[in-house]
A and B are shown apart, each in its own frame.
Chain A
Amino acid sequence: MALDNRKINLLLQKFRANPYRIFVVVTPHTGYLREFLVKEGDEVRGPAGKWLEKPGSPLFVLERERNPKVIRAKAGGLVSKINQELLGRFVEAFEPVLEIKHTLTQKEIIAELLRETLHIVTAPEKARYFLSPELAKKIEKEGEGRVLVKPGEELAIMSFMKRETPILHEGPPMVVFRVFFSRGQMVEQGGPLLGLCLEEERPYVEKLISRVKEEWPA
């Protein structure tokens, strides 16, 4: 479905109605659930720090073979739906224990929307990537979201062990809306490289982003 005002409203409506992501915390393995370290409504935080070196908040203690293990939050948010019945009981692996209601941030909403609205070009292999020189020059001159690429045109160059492979554009002519890598960056296989959209959709995508920024302050 092509992007228009109606679709924008629909998308925004979806996030307005439910600006959360629910993380269901399950038991990683079997064991006795000895203790809950949080109450319903408590705020917990996920791993933090530049290298995610600070672990998330402790949620509950799962004991197996006299090895009490503190299970920690993988994401920040409010604790809900604690399954109190499991307390003190033996539980199987992957048993839902509680939920963390994570409020989506502006950045996360934009990322989610771009994933839905843009055509994402992904990395075929783990390698270093460079924008094609012509495209880089054009983007530098005109800016992101202004450069049109035609089918068969070179988008990026994949460089691995001195072997360079061009990544060509396939499909209808599109504008380069976002570049997700910096020059020479090592990108994992399947990682996003470029976000493209049809030229007529571009104003809508821009509008969508500006509306998100208005409604969900950073």
Chain B
Amino acid sequence: MRELQRYLHELIDRVIYLQDIKGEGWQGCAYLLEDLERLKERFYQVSEKECQHLLESYETRLKILEDRAARELTPYEIVKITRNPQRFTLLDILENVYDSYTELGGEGDINVDPAIVCARAMISRRVGDKVYLHQVIVIGHEKGHGEEFRNGGSAKPWGNEKALRYMRVAETEGIPIHFYIFTPGAYPIEDYPGAAQQIARNLYFMSKLRVPTVAFISEGGSGGAEAIGLADIRLMASRGYYSVISPEGAAAIEGKIKEGERPPRELIEFCARQLKITAEDNLRLGTIDRIVPEPPLGARRNDYQFFKRLRYEMIRATDEVVLRTKSLKAFRSYALRRKKEEENPPEEFDIHVRWDLSEVEVEKLLDLRSKKYRQMTRHILGLNKCSFKGYVEKTQDVGLRIYHDLRYGILKQGQKMFQRVMEELSGEGVAFLKQLTEPLKTAYDLLASKPRKPRARVVGLEEALVDLPELYVSPLALEDRTVTCPNAEVHGCLDIWVPDLYGEFCGVCPNCGYHFPLEYQWYLNNIFDAKSVKEFNAEIASGNPLGFEGYDKKLALAQKKTGRNSAIITFQARIGGISLIVAMLIADFRQGTVGVAEGEKFIQACDRARITKRPFLAFVHTTGGIRIHEGTLGVVQMPRCTMAVREYIDAGGLYIVVYDNNSYAGPVASFLGCSPYQFAIRSTRIGFAGPRVIRETTGEDIPPDYHSAENALRRGHIQGIWNRRELRKKLYEALLTMGGKNLYYK
């Protein structure tokens, strides 16, 4: 009888699960549940035989419903599967996939951040009659089965910092890392160091993490997922989702839904469909490498077959990453690629692969990782196609590289070395002569009536910056009227006459220093030396790679309005004669959001700065984050661009980020936020999520100055706040005083 009772409860759970996914009124689910509940009530009044018979008939009905549900699953229903409390979580994986594990950095609710679990784990493989144990560090989000303190797997900044700490441990010990992504998104708070800043730090570190890494995505919520998602191989659960924004969030934006109101179900379904969030979609788009099959309605915490499969996939993926770095790998790689095993994973492995790497292999691993992310999404722009133009460009690149390596590499290095030797020699000579001449000088000073003039001069200081011949004046200044400063009530600012404000004052309130927004052309004309701006890659255009309905029109409108093809302008320019490469995100084009084209242009600009040994400036006129209409194709620009930035900085460059107006979300949490030199123009707002998202996620209101540049400076996100009128001078000073040793002018 106990068996039957368990059977009954299991059926009830399955019906409830089905209802959660498809909705209560779906295909008679409610009637089936009613029948089961009725049987539960009179369980002891029914004979065992009858009960068995009834339960079997109910299960047959349920199976038919489940099969139908699995055939008709919509993307939003997959989201519901992923969020279901019955779904497996990281702790279930640690229990069932790994042989043993020790949780690090906290346990349960006694934790730095219970939403992130780090563990030192052992995973075994059987080859013939031998069992091999591998050590790994497991890092992932823990949603908890209804545990409130887990925050649904939304990692706070210090949770992501914990993840970073254990990545360092893995690197020190040279053991692979398995990442498990189960997050609806990062917890959007700006407490030290700030959600965006910590994600950027993680990405920056992971881009050159010197151990093999494999990521498994079940619920990949945008930036939160990327915080532990830059891996050598990315697997995804077949019933998981990986998206730039939750379907509800996208629906709220698309439908312009007011705060506190719920978007209609149809709109959420529409957005989930358009965003291409399923595993199949992501595999097709190339943002993941492989799908781990789950049962048709998703794996639950007691699906042991699935855990067996996952164990096989994680070992196989790690093997693959390791073998790619080896020179002797042909047969073992073949063994891993066998199709037969993909469909039906064996109990035993044919081969054993050691997961530790030599120094040379580590270098190859990093090189392969770099190539993998650099290649990602390039096919969307058609840049992978072999064409005559492509070959010409490649040849030009090689030529440029050879020229700059010769001009500023070999020759400059030789010159520098000679200079250094001469300095050493002259230093020694001066020290020697000083011993001899010092008594004579002292005697001279005593006898002479006039003291000797000191001949001190600063070594290495460049000439002062020359002012621009004429100041560009914003067309906003052409109105004959006054405007009120937003701080008028607090600071008592008087109304400002517009021609003065946008002309002489450069959009700065003369009383309180509030910076009124200005168009990007103002910066183009007033920061860089006259006629020095030379744009490149202007032809790379934003598109609609997901075929998001209604987006083509919006895009065409933005192109028409700005006369540009994307939200980023990349160009070479000069400040005080110092040549630099600039990437400028502009507000006028889709609020400076970043998609495939923007990411690619940024990477190419970064690479050009690296090859030509130029400083690299990212000027953020405004960025609203990753462009939601490009889905995960936009999200992967975060690791891609961060990879390029890391390689540029490691090569000894100078990467400066200057924020203006509003800068939020993905770009700030990756390739902008990872810069060691970030500055903001006064009155800028910088953060991870806007006030509405914070209120809706945390349930708490935020002060009006939460995202102010002052607060960003206070928590160490930026290194200084600049006045717009001094921007040219400040940048010039930064170019002279900051950066690595591989700049052409140093």
Bound Cα distance A203, B495 (Å): 54
Instruction: Report yes or no: B701 in contact with A64, Cβ–Cβ below 8 A.
Output: no
Question: Which residues of chain B have C-beta atoms less than 8 A from A51's C-beta?
Answer: 703-704
Report which of B484, B701, B703, B704 forms a contact with A67, defined as CB distance below 8 A: B484
Let me know if A14 is at the binding interface, CB within 8 A. no
Question: Which residues of chain B have C-beta atoms less than 8 A from A64's C-beta?
Answer: 482, 495
Enumerate B677-727 residues with CB–CB distance to A below 8 Å: 701, 703-704
Question: Which residues of chain B have C-beta atoms less than 8 A from A29's C-beta?
Answer: 495
Instruction: Report yes or no: B480 in contact with A53, Cβ–Cβ below 8 A.
Output: no
Q: Interface readout for A57-96 with B: 1 if CB under 8 Å, 0 if not?
A: 0000000111101000000000000000000000000000
Let me know if B481 is at the binding interface, CB within 8 A. yes
Bound Cα distance A69, B486 (Å): 11
Instruction: Report yes or no: B484 in contact with A69, Cβ–Cβ below 8 A.
Output: yes
Instruction: Report yes or no: B701 in contact with A65, Cβ–Cβ below 8 A.
Output: no
Instruction: Report yes or no: B481 in contact with A65, Cβ–Cβ below 8 A.
Output: yes
The bracket for how many chain A residues form the interface is 10 to 19
Let me know if B483 is at the binding interface, CB within 8 A. yes
Let me know if B523 is at the binding interface, CB within 8 A. no
Let me know if A141 is at the binding interface, CB within 8 A. no
Instruction: Report yes or no: B701 in contact with A49, Cβ–Cβ below 8 A.
Output: yes
Instruction: Report yes or no: B497 in contact with A65, Cβ–Cβ below 8 A.
Output: yes
B695 to chain A, nearest CB (A): 12
Let me know if A50 is at the binding interface, CB within 8 A. yes
Nearest chain-B residue to A49 (Cβ)? B701
Enumerate B473-531 residues with CB–CB distance to A below 8 Å: 479-484, 495, 497
Bound Cα distance A53, B703 (Å): 8
Bound Cα distance A65, B481 (Å): 5
Report which of A49, A50, A65 forms a contact with B482, defined as CB distance below 8 A: A65
Enumerate A9-51 residues with CB–CB distance to B below 8 Å: 29, 49-51
Question: Which residues of chain A have C-beta atoms less than 8 A from B481's C-beta?
Answer: 65-67
Nearest chain-A residue to B704 (Cβ)? A53
Question: Which residues of chain A have C-beta atoms less than 8 A from B704's C-beta?
Answer: 51, 53
Nearest chain-A residue to B494 (Cβ)? A29
Question: Which residues of chain A have C-beta atoms less than 8 A from B483's C-beta?
Answer: 67
A73 to chain B, nearest CB (A): 13
Nearest chain-A residue to B700 (Cβ)? A50
Question: Which residues of chain A have C-beta atoms less than 8 A from B495's C-beta?
Answer: 29, 64-65, 67
Instruction: Report yes or no: A66 in contact with B480, Cβ–Cβ below 8 A.
Output: yes
Bound Cα distance A64, B704 (Å): 28
Enumerate A166-210 residues with CB–CB distance to B below 8 Å: none
A residues in contact (CB < 8 Å) with B: 29, 49-51, 53, 64-67, 69
Give 13 A-B pairs besides A53-B704, A66-B482, A67-B484 with Cβ atoms closer than 8 angstroms.
A29-B495, A49-B701, A50-B701, A50-B703, A51-B703, A53-B703, A64-B495, A65-B495, A66-B480, A66-B481, A67-B482, A67-B483, A69-B484
- Give the 5 A-B CB pairs with smallest separation, nearest first: A66-B481, A65-B482, A67-B482, A53-B704, A51-B703
Listed A/B pairs (15) with beta-carbon separation below 8 Å:
A29-B495, A50-B701, A51-B703, A64-B495, A65-B481, A65-B495, A65-B497, A66-B479, A66-B480, A66-B482, A67-B481, A67-B482, A67-B483, A67-B495, A69-B484
